[in-house]
Amino acid sequence: MTVQHEAATQGVILTDTAAAKVGNLLAAEGREDLKLRIAVQPGGCSGLRYQLYFDEREIDDNPNATGSCACGDSFH
């Protein structure tokens, strides 16, 4: 797993503690091909539910988004 300690133009930045936890979980899986996937799904009190899981697939960012706001930070 590669841990990035600088600002990224896209993606999610993990704290050192979170990166260590993900690294330990990946080591327990015993696979080098997995990536941490973050999914946003309908549900929960605020209308959205977030899921984190390991996945071996390479897919585009936000493949189910049908549009975005003017600034590009939000999607629907």
pLDDT at 58: 80
Q: For 9-41, write each residue's pLDDT tens digit.
A: 566 788 999 999 999 999 999 988 898 888 888
Q: For 30-76, write each residue's pLDDT tens digit.
A: 988 898 888 888 877 878 888 889 999 887 676 667 776 666 556 66
Examine the pLDDT at 6 and tell me if it is beyond 60. Answer: no
Assess contact for 50 and 40: CB atoms under 8 A. Answer: yes
Assess contact for 36 and 19: CB atoms under 8 A. Answer: no
Rounded (5°) CA angle 51-53-57: 120
**Diameter over CA atoms, the chain:** 42
pLDDT at 47: 80
Q: Residue 22, CB half-sphere, CA atoms under 13 Å: how many?
A: 20
